[in-house]
Structure 1
Amino acid sequence: MEIRHATSADNEQIWEIIQPVISAGETYVFAPDSSREKMLAYWCGPDKHTYVAVLDGLVVGTFVLKDNQPDLGSHIANGSYMTLASASGQGVGRAMGAFSINEAKRLGYKAMQFNIVIKTNELAVQLWQKLGFNIIGEVPEAFNHRQHGLINAYIMYRKL
């Protein structure tokens, strides 16, 4: 698997990953009917480092790194990750997670923080814990899950 910076040539494959994830309404805060234009402008915005994971010529995952907060909070990275559904179980998320930790260090970040890891997204919670993240807080009813209604979300953190 190759992990590299995304280019505009990757946009269609990135959208093919993003669209089903957000339309499910289970793990991301974006409206399930968010447009391609809105999501690509967000995901590939100038304030982010956008990456893709490529396997056999197909983009099977994508993630972004960015400052968690501006200015005096910019030494902590924030990340968002999505995997192509058909690539689930192939280690794509783990590879992107491990790569992003090293990349965040290379970019000069001192720590990483995820502000809203949906509690019911148990695979993601377990993955981040295996990669050294701790749950440092739980926000009650932080996410309006499409199936379960208002559910809690974790804040997860690790030093780099």
Structure 2
Amino acid sequence: MRIRTARDEDWPEIHSFYSRIVDEGRTYTLPEGSGMEEARSLWMGTPSWRTVVAVDGERIAGTAKAGPSLPGRGSGIAGASFMVNPEHRGAGVGRALGEHVIEWCREAGFRGIRFNAVVETNEAAVRLWKSLGFEIVGTVPEAFDHVDHGPVGLHVMYRRL
């Protein structure tokens, strides 16, 4: 598996699993039912952020994006988002993307990385981020309307670089 910067021609393949994951209603606060261009804007359209893909053979196994969490004086802390193609779950794609983003953020001069919306019932993600040195610094109760569990909390997670 190799990780590289995402290209425009990657978007249709990314969108195929992006839309499935978002529409499941279990892990992302992104709007369900987004059209291809609206979703592209949300995932790949932030100029100050970098979007990457994890490629396994010729298939995109996952994607991540990272950049300044806030503008101006808040820009020393990065934000990041990750998606693993469901067909590649359990194969280390999330870990590889996480390690890549941590190193890229460190090299880019960020002091830390903040995730502001990790769904508390997404145990695999919480376990992965903790294993990569992130800690839960707070939880916003009932902030996510989970399709199966109803209102659940969103963790704010942080890792110092």
TM-score interval w.r.t. the shorter chain? over 0.9
Alpha-carbon distance, 1:9 to partner? 1.2
Q: Provide TM-score, normalisation by structure 2.
A: 0.97
Counterparts of 2:51 and 2:153, CA distance in 1 = 27
Alpha-carbon distance, 1:30 to partner? 1.6
The letter for the 2-side match of 1:32 is: E
How many equivalent residue pairs?
160
**1:3 touches 1:96 (CA, 8 Å); kept in 2?**
yes
Task: Extract unaligned runs of 5+ from structure 1.
Answer: none
Alpha-carbon distance, 1:47 to partner? 3.1
Counterparts of 1:31 and 1:106, CA distance in 2 = 32
Give the 4+ runs in structure 1 shifted more than 6 A.
Answer: none
**1:25 touches 1:31 (CA, 8 Å); kept in 2?**
no
The letter for the 2-side match of 1:94 is: R
The letter for the 2-side match of 1:71 is: G
1:119 aligns with 2:120: yes
- Equivalences for residues 101-120 of structure 1 within 5 A: 101-120=102-121
Alpha-carbon distance, 1:102 to partner? 0.1
Alpha-carbon distance, 1:34 to partner? 1.6
Counterparts of 2:17 and 2:110, CA distance in 1 = 27
SS of 2:102's equivalent in the other structure is helix
Alpha-carbon distance, 1:14 to partner? 1.1
- Equivalences for residues 46-125 of structure 1 within 5 A: 46-125=47-126
**1:112 touches 1:159 (CA, 8 Å); kept in 2?**
yes
1:157 counterpart residue number: 158
The letter for the 1-side match of 2:150 is: G
Counterparts of 1:47 and 1:12, CA distance in 2 = 22
